[in-house]
Amino acid sequence: MPLVRVDIKKHQDPAYVKRVGQLIYAAMHSAIGVPENDNFQILAEHDEQHFIFDPGYLGIHRSDNLVVIQITLSEGRTIEQKKLLYKTIADTLNAQLGVRLEDVFVNLVEVKKENWSFGNGVAQYAL
């Protein structure tokens, strides 16, 4: 039930951001057990004026190829699962698309299960 938002600077290959999304979904599937077909993503490309980041925050040297990933998901994963997810996403983007590990920024937003409605005005996971 994650909702994934990916933000990058405008890329010369129009299929690039879609491939990033596919790799993130595969990483979530393998690292934290996201089910088949549970894939909802917002993929956005921005010009320089609308993609602002600190290139050296926390001593990590980011480039203009930064990939910002925000994943909203139901709470309940362990710290170990989250660390595995971060590593799997970064390693996969690096291996498949050449994204530098320093350029993979991930933010998880955990919510209670009743905070989702997948359609029909129904809270499908509310207990």
Active site residues: 2
Chain center to CA of 87:
12
Q: E strand or H helix at 16, and its extent?
A: helix 16-32
Question: Contact, 93 vs 25, CB < 8 A?
Answer: no
DSSP labels for 63-124? -TT-EEEEEEEES---HHHHHHHHHHHHHHHHHHH---GGGEEEEEEEE-GGG---STT--T
CA distance linking residue 64 with residue 48, whole number of Å: 9
